[in-house]
Structure formats: C-alpha cells, structure tokens
Chain A
Amino acid sequence: MSWDTTRLALRLRWSAAVSAAVGLIAVMLAVGALFPAVGHSIGKLNVPSSVANLLGGGDYGTITGWFRSEIAAIYGPLVIGALAITGASASTAGEEEDRVLGLVLAYPIRRSRLVAAKALAIAGIVLFIAFATWVGLIAGVALGGGGITLAHITGVAIQLAFFGFATGALALAVGAATGRRALATGLAAAVGVTGWLINSFAPLVAGLGWLKYLSPFYYYAGHDPLAHGANVPGLLVLGLLALVLTGVAMVSIERRDLRS
C-alpha cells in the first residue's frame, strides 16, 4: 500500500468532500426543522403509489417516512454516489487522461498498488460522507421532534457507506480498465440511476419484481434501514461487489498500455 498516494488523493479531493458534507448536514437540519410544520398536512396528501415508491415509499406523516423520502431515498445516495464515482474515475482514468500517470508510473510503484491506494482514499471520503449523514440525521431528527432510534440512523449511515463503496468501485474498475474518465463516470452513474429506477418501479410491474435484485440500490435501501436498521445480507452483497470490482481494477490496469 502506498500511504503517500492515499494521502495525496485525499488531499486533492478533501475540499469537495467537506463542502458536500456541510451541504448534506445543512439540508438534513432544514428537513428536520420543517417536519413539525408540514409533516402532518403533507401526510394527508394522496400521492400515487409509483411516485411514492420513487420517493422511498411515501408516508410523509411519520418522521421516518419524512426522512426516508427526503434524505435516505434520493439525496443521501446521490451525494455519496456522486463523490465516490467522480473521485474514483478522476483518480484513475482522469489522471491517466491528464497524463499525470505517465510520470507517476515511471516511479517504482506497481500500478495495482497505486489503484489500491486510490481506492482506499475514495473509501475514506465515502466514510466521511456517511459520518456526516449520521451526524446530520441525528441533528435533523432531533429538530423534527425525535422518533428514529440511533440504531436505525446508524444503520442508514452504514448502508449508505457500502452503497458508496460499491458505486465508487464500479467507477474505479471501469476507469482502471479503460483509462476513460467519461466512460467510468457515465457508466457508474447510469448503473446507480437505473438501479434506483428499477428498485422503485420493478416491484410495481408484474413479473419484473426479480429485477430489483440486480440493482445496487435494492441492497442499500430495499430493507428500509431507517425503519429497520442495517441489513447484513445487503451489506455483504455491496461489500463483496466493492471488493471484487476493486480487484478487477487492480488486475486490469496492469495488463494494458497507458493511454496518451
């Protein structure tokens, strides 16, 4: 492991991570503060079930449903996925396209070790965002009058972190295997968004319910961590996916010509 490379990758992405974390916490505080005022009236709205599913199952009348639809279903995974994906593709394919790797890899460091070091840095950023989500949820829920246990909040943060590991590792694998930043970012983002749509809509279509098992989103939110806490099988799937994809990244970058 090249700790210097990990430290440098963290340093280069740190300011983006901190602003994302601050924004995330601010939004959660606002969402929590709004709940006492609008939660009860919005809870009586008759939302079509497809829209409700897209927003994490509707049920705005309870604080769990409120936070699920506002944070857990969209905003949290969006922020953590975006940071993981852009970080992973920029620090592999991005550096290759910018020709920095053409200098760094002339140094005595194995490509696979370099990729592993970058993966560790991205994992660190994902953990940081998950921690910010945890802090924001605790504060936001308290502002909204309480009602979600600490264990369940912790569960969401952990599920979210593993979702970030998996989406980031996908971008890492595509970036390391192809050296194309746009492809890595685009493909991983597409998988994330499609996964979110599949997880929301597939259960509504008869005969397509099984599709949800293909979606990383299902393993993040399928068991509703805000209501039930962390889900170990879901974490195992996401964790394994992240490890396998990181392995793919490490092997595939060794075997090819560096671009540009």
Chain B
Amino acid sequence: MRLLVDLIKPSSGSAQVLGLDTRSQSLEIRRRIGFLPGDLAMYPKLTGGAMLDYLARLRGGVDSRLRDSLVERFGAELDRPVRQLSTGNRQKIGLVQAFMHEPELLILDEPIAGLDPLVQRSFHALLAEVSREGRTVFLSSHTLSEVERVTGRLAILREGRLVVVDSVENLRKVAVHRMDIEFAAPVDPAEFRALPGVREADATGATMTVGIEGSADAVVKAAARHEVLAIRPREDDLEDIFLRYYRDVQS
C-alpha cells in the first residue's frame, strides 16, 4: 500500500493505480485516491479540525458539507488536540480525511483498528455506499470477520507474497464447510467419514461436527436416517481458507 502511494519505491518492477504509474504519475494518483496509513500519525499539537483543514487545503479544498457529514457520522472530535485523542478517536479523523474528497479509489490500511463496534458498523455502512456508487475500496485487515463482511475480492498475503487472489464466493466454494448436527442419540462418526466429500467427522456426545467439501447432500441424507434435533452451520469458512493457505505454504 505504501508503494502504491509512492512512500516507498519498488526494488524492481512497477505498479499501476487507476492506469497510472506509481512512480512517474504519483501526484495524479494521490490526487484521485484517499489513503489511510496503517500507523496513522498527525501533528500532536493541532486539533483534529485544524489537521483536517490543512489536509483539505493540500487537496486544494474539499466540500465542507461532505466533510461535516463524515465527522458527524463517525462522531469525530475536532476541538481537542490530536495528542489528547485515543487511538480510536484519531482513527476517526483518519477515516474522515480519507473519504472527504470523494475519491475514486480508497486505500485503507487496517481501517477498523481501535474503532468501537458502533463506529465499525457505520464505517461498514459507508463502505457499502461507496461501493454502490461504483468506487473501489482496497483495504487490508487482520480481522477475518471484517474481510468476510465487506470484500468482493480477497487476496491473502503471506510473508510479503501473494498466495491467492479470488472472490470470496469462489474461495468459499473450495472451502471446507463445517456443520454441527445434533442427534437425539449418539451416532458413530465412522458412518459419516465414509461419505463422499466428508473431510472430517467427530462426535461429542450426541452432537456430530462434520467438515464437508462441496455438496452437503450425502451428509444430509445420511443424517436423515437418524432422529435430528438441529443442524447448525458453523460460520468460520474464511478462517479455514485463510489457515489452509497459511498451512499449505508452510508445508
């Protein structure tokens, strides 16, 4: 991300953003994008408001109504010096500055770091609006639930190398789905392990956890031979994908 905004230079190769070269056309890129650095820092003596004013002037001015609506949305504090703000409150100012000029592309490094759940929610709502308007958000995150909620396409990086790039949907197709099946009486997991597509099956009491790749048809039909009290899908798909790519590279 730092390379895309020309804060650091590529040791080899080149990159393009919005069809522009990140080195020779960096100014034009920076005019058209909004950027939130991962380790956001601002002038500690300035108030949030003064900081935003300065940044807005570096862009040649921004629509103050848009800025104010973002400030209101995130509940950003503009009157106190930045050094007195908590990490979360600083991050709010960082988000406002990234969005305040309606950029075509947003590059956000760990945007929800330090934000409370309420602000996270309004941030995610904003992301949805921005993507509906046809603008692109490129964000990095260590929070898998966030990634799952907001991304269309996902890339997994491991030790600086791209391991996979695909849509969340496609990745989910190849992922192992897990479900808990609660029976009226204990059932032998071996019966399920033999079914096509089943990668794992373990029982705790009368509850069986089954990991399936692909169709769940055989499992559901096998379960139907017993008395089923409940079927609960587990929602840790993306984490599985993630861990799998990490494991694959390691082995």
Contact = CB atoms under 8 A, between A and B. Distances in A.
Interface of A: 2, 4-5, 8, 12, 98-100, 102-110, 256-258, 260
Contact of A107 (B8, B46, B59): B59
Nearest to B8: A257
B37 A98 contact: no
A8 B40 CA distance: 19
27 contacts: A4-B57, A5-B58, A8-B43, A12-B43, A12-B45, A98-B41, A99-B39, A99-B40, A100-B42, A102-B7, A102-B39, A102-B41, A103-B35, A103-B97, A104-B58, A105-B7, A106-B5, A106-B30, A106-B35, A107-B30, A107-B55, A108-B31, A108-B59, A110-B27, A257-B8, A257-B9, A258-B7
Interface string B50-81: 00001101110000000000000000000000
B2 A102 contact: yes
Contacts of B94: 103
B40 to A, nearest CB: 6
Given A99-B37, A102-B7, A108-B31, A258 B43 contact: no
A110 B27 CA distance: 7
Q: Helix, strand, loop or mixed for chain B's interface? A: loop
A257 B11 CA distance: 10
A257 B23 CA distance: 12
Contacts of B54: 4, 8
A258 B2 contact: yes
B41 A103 contact: yes
Given A4-B54, A106-B7, 20 more contacts: A8-B54, A12-B46, A99-B37, A100-B42, A102-B37, A102-B39, A102-B41, A103-B35, A103-B40, A104-B55, A104-B58, A105-B7, A106-B35, A107-B59, A108-B31, A257-B7, A257-B9, A258-B2, A258-B8, A260-B39
Which of A2, A4, A98, A102 has its CB near the most chain B CB atoms (within 10 A)?
A102
Contacts of A8: 43, 46, 54
A108 B32 CA distance: 9
B37 A103 contact: yes
Interface residues of B, number: 28
Contacts of A256: 9
A98 B39 CA distance: 10
B177 to A, nearest CB: 40
Contact of A108 (B27, B41, B42, B46): B27
B248 to A, nearest CB: 31
Nearest to B53: A4
B58 to A, nearest CB: 4
A108 B43 contact: no
Interface in B160-219: none
Contacts of A106: 5, 7, 30, 33, 35, 37
B111 to A, nearest CB: 14
Interface in B17-48: 27-28, 30-31, 33, 35, 37, 39-46
Nearest to B9: A257
A257 B2 CA distance: 10
A98 B41 CA distance: 7
A2 B2 contact: no
Contacts of B35: 103, 106
Contacts of A110: 27
Contact of A100 (B30, B41, B59): B41
Which of A2, A105, A107 has its CB near the most chain B CB atoms (within 10 A)?
A107
A257 B10 CA distance: 9
A108 B59 CA distance: 7
Contacts of A100: 41-43
Contact of B58 (A2, A102, A257): A2
Contacts of A108: 27-28, 30-31, 58-59
Nearest to A107: B58
A98 B44 CA distance: 10
Contacts of B97: 103
Top 5 nearest A-B pairs (CB, nearest first) are A99-B41, A106-B35, A257-B8, A108-B31, A107-B58
Contacts of B43: 8, 12, 100
Contacts of B41: 98-100, 102-103
A99 B94 CA distance: 13
A258 B39 CA distance: 13
Nearest to A111: B6
Contacts of B55: 103-104, 107
A4 B46 CA distance: 14
B92 to A, nearest CB: 14
Nearest to A100: B41
